[in-house]
Chains A and B, each alone.
Chain A
Amino acid sequence: MVPEPEFESYYGRQILKTPTWKTPDVPLYLFLGGLAGASALLAEGAAITGRPALERVTRVAAAAGAGAGTAALVHDLGRPERFLKMLRVLKVTSPLSVGSFILAPFSGLSAAALASNLTGRLPRLGRLAGLGAAALGPPLASYTAALISNTAVPAWHEAHRELPLVFVGSGATAAGGLALVATPLAENGPARLMAIAGAGIEITAAELLKRRLGMVAEPYEQGRSGLLMKTARAMTAASAALTVVAGRSRALCALAGASYVTASALTRFGIFEAGRVSAEDPKYTVVPQRQRLEQRKAEAAASA
């Protein structure tokens, strides 16, 4: 057990402000963005390789995920009627601005691709829209990590190298998982592979994150946020194992798929909650900054 570090504070109060982003709106959006982005990739692959059932399922997931995600984001705004102000400027310093310019076209293109797929009309334009959505899919699934990393919240900011990998891994398990639930065995091969690969990436990146961050990563391991993360990791690992042994069982594939999707959502809620904890405890603000100052002082003394 590492002893609790000693530090001073103003009546024990937090220094940073608690993120005002609402639950479930924003963690749900983080999940849906990953699901939709990775689903758009599966959809285009399915179209190219002639897997119509897989294509249908993943086009629905991409369009519905983006649509519901956009609704969650707009609902989260303090002034929802002003959501179009998001597209007023484009700023690379604001991942939310960049993300709006990814999400808006992705939503339109994935909806158009789905409409064409469902009705059979304008097939070429539909495929073109699907290709566009597939190109925007990986950015959509990963930029949300920049969204929360580009803040002063220690557990989010300090994790900015690993979080994008955790997020794309989580997005791949969600998309692969949902496709496993709703796709016949003959066409679900790519969904299996995507989910297994996603699980490996997510679990590995999360482990690296915790090792590198030290005490700042505590909220990912302790309390309610830690419980969410541990449950998600156990479910993701179990789903991956189940995918391997499921073989020709449609029921086991569906079970693994549902478990993947649930785990992916839990991961996002866990990461979101960990950020809240990290912002509200002055320990995570003061102790690392104090260490940084002491280290600089020691280096200056050594070079003097």
Chain B
Amino acid sequence: MSNSLFGPLTDVQGDAGYEDHPPRMGFFTDTSVCIGCKACEVACKEWNEVPEDGIALSGMSYDNSRELGADTWRHVAFIEKPLHPTTSDLGLPGMGPPGWQETDAAPGHGDQGAESGESGVRWLMSSDVCKHCTHAACLDVCPTGSLFRTEFGTVVVQPDICNGCGYCVPACPYGVIDLREDDGRAFKCTLCYDRLKDGQQPACAQACPTESIQYGEVSELRERARLRVAELHEQGVDVARLYGADPDDGVGGDGAFFLLLDEPEVYGLPPDPVVTTRDLGSIWRSVGAAAATLLAVGIGSFVGSRR
């Protein structure tokens, strides 16, 4: 079993046909130190000349870019969560908005995720990006070969080949890639392929003032991430967990993975994504059986109506 479609894969580029290649590069986004400055969003737009995609207020906290898409390759999510009360409500007047209770959440809730003053709100911020999956569904289903695996193990669209069929869009288990409306082709994060080839780091990582976005070799980043989680657990932040760092997960691990302080779905991430091509064998077998059934129906229709 070569694990080309599913499961852990130690040499992603080798599996894609590269003989000599640099190490696999990726992102470790440590959301515990994200301050929600959106420098990553701006740097990405500027460097990659990503078009404007609507300037409007969403009503979702400070998040006005809403989601990743053809014209948003870094997206900072803002979550305002009321803290869980640890004391019983005595019905005394409080300081926060109606319905929210004052709490005495444990201090030292990591650098982020600390309560903000009297409002009893826990802030979560996270810069989301294309996951550059080990088993990338967008790449698998692309019928033109426009989406390809780079020598760095990242997944990139070649705009001169994409014909806008849109197959990658519903294939992505994270809802990352999309078609650009006026252009018709698919776009997403390239992990700054052009900069990587020049030995530079991606624009978002360079712009991040808190090193929430860390760029480097995936193997090294995974190690760094494990140490960081252990450190946070030691500080009492037991909600810290890694997302996408496990090579045994449904996509063989992400090239861009995260340290989160709550369940993935709170950040708009799928809790247990699986690459659709895991079931490719079963899918084609079912199609084969159905085709054979139709052939039998066709033959039977004539045999059954002999005159």
User: A289–B277 contact, CB under 8 A?
Assistant: no
Q: How far is the CA of A82 from the CA of B305 in the complex (A)?
A: 46
Q: How far is the CA of A121 from the CA of B166 in the complex (A)?
A: 41
Q: How many A-B pairs with Cβ below 8 Å?
A: 253
Q: How far is the CA of A142 from the CA of B276 in the complex (A)?
A: 18
**B88 contacts the other chain (CB 8 A):** no
Given known contacts A77-B163, A94-B167, A290-B265, A164 and B297 CB-to-CB distance under 8 angstroms: no
**A132 contacts the other chain (CB 8 A):** no
CB-defined contacts of B166 to chain A, threshold 8 Å: 19-21, 76-78
Q: How far is the CB of A170 from chain B (nearest CB, A)?
A: 11
Q: How far is the CB of A304 from chain B (nearest CB, A)?
A: 17
* Chain A 14-29 interface residues, beta-carbon cutoff 8 Å to B: 14-21
Identify the closest chain A residue to B141 (Cβ): A94
Q: How far is the CA of A164 from the CA of B284 in the complex (A)?
A: 9
CB-defined contacts of A275 to chain B, threshold 8 Å: 170
Q: How far is the CA of A48 from the CA of B302 in the complex (A)?
A: 10
**B95 contacts the other chain (CB 8 A):** no
Contact with A along B154-186 (1 / 0, CB 8 A): 000000011111110111111111110001111
Q: How far is the CA of A67 from the CA of B136 in the complex (A)?
A: 33
CB-defined contacts of A41 to chain B, threshold 8 Å: 294-295, 298
CB-defined contacts of A289 to chain B, threshold 8 Å: 270-273
Which stretch from A233-241, A247-255, A278-286 is at the chain B interface?
Answer: A278-286
Pick the contact of A78: B66, B185, B286 (CB < 8 A).
B185
User: A100–B143 contact, CB under 8 A?
Assistant: yes
User: B170–A17 contact, CB under 8 A?
Assistant: yes
Pick the contact of B265: A7, A93, A189 (CB < 8 A).
A7
User: B164–A96 contact, CB under 8 A?
Assistant: no
CB-defined contacts of B176 to chain A, threshold 8 Å: 17
User: B141–A150 contact, CB under 8 A?
Assistant: yes
Q: How far is the CB of A183 from chain B (nearest CB, A)?
A: 12
Chain A: interface secondary structure?
Answer: helix
Q: How far is the CA of A18 from the CA of B164 in the complex (A)?
A: 15
Given known contacts A10-B268, A86-B143, A193-B304, A19 and B286 CB-to-CB distance under 8 angstroms: no
User: B302–A138 contact, CB under 8 A?
Assistant: no
**A133 contacts the other chain (CB 8 A):** no
CB-defined contacts of B279 to chain A, threshold 8 Å: 149-150, 157, 160
Identify the closest chain B residue to A163 (Cβ): B286
Identify the closest chain B residue to A292 (Cβ): B272
CB-defined contacts of B183 to chain A, threshold 8 Å: 78
**B301 contacts the other chain (CB 8 A):** yes
**B96 contacts the other chain (CB 8 A):** no
Pick the contact of A88: B161, B293, B305 (CB < 8 A).
B161
User: A152–B266 contact, CB under 8 A?
Assistant: no
Q: How many residues from B make CB contacts under 8 Å with A? A: 74
* Chain A 42-56 interface residues, beta-carbon cutoff 8 Å to B: 42, 45, 48-49
* Chain B 45-89 interface residues, beta-carbon cutoff 8 Å to A: 60, 66-67, 69, 77, 79
**B94 contacts the other chain (CB 8 A):** no
Given known contacts A10-B266, A286-B265, A193 and B271 CB-to-CB distance under 8 angstroms: no
CB-defined contacts of A21 to chain B, threshold 8 Å: 166, 170
Given known contacts A13-B66, A152-B170, A197-B300, A164 and B290 CB-to-CB distance under 8 angstroms: yes
User: A42–B298 contact, CB under 8 A?
Assistant: yes
CB-defined contacts of B276 to chain A, threshold 8 Å: 149-152, 157
User: B282–A160 contact, CB under 8 A?
Assistant: yes
Q: How far is the CB of A157 from chain B (nearest CB, A)?
A: 6
Contact with B along A144-157 (1 / 0, CB 8 A): 01100111110011
Q: How far is the CA of A282 from the CA of B269 in the complex (A)?
A: 10
User: A78–B179 contact, CB under 8 A?
Assistant: yes
CB-defined contacts of A85 to chain B, threshold 8 Å: 144, 146, 161-163
Identify the closest chain B residue to A90 (Cβ): B143
Given known contacts A78-B183, A190-B302, A290-B265, A95 and B297 CB-to-CB distance under 8 angstroms: no
Q: How far is the CB of B252 from chain A (nearest CB, A)?
A: 14
User: B305–A13 contact, CB under 8 A?
Assistant: no
* Chain B 112-147 interface residues, beta-carbon cutoff 8 Å to A: 137, 140-146
User: A93–B301 contact, CB under 8 A?
Assistant: no
User: B137–A152 contact, CB under 8 A?
Assistant: yes
User: A78–B140 contact, CB under 8 A?
Assistant: no
Pick the contact of A142: B60, B179, B291 (CB < 8 A).
B291
Given contacts A9-B265, A10-B77, A96-B141, 11 further A-B contacts (CB under 8 A): A9-B268, A49-B306, A80-B163, A150-B280, A160-B279, A161-B286, A165-B286, A168-B297, A172-B297, A190-B305, A293-B271
The 10 nearest A-B residue pairs measured at CB: A78-B164, A78-B184, A189-B305, A10-B268, A164-B290, A41-B298, A82-B163, A138-B291, A97-B143, A289-B272
Task: Give 7 CB contacts A-B under 8 Å.
Answer: A85-B162, A91-B140, A152-B171, A152-B172, A153-B170, A160-B279, A172-B297
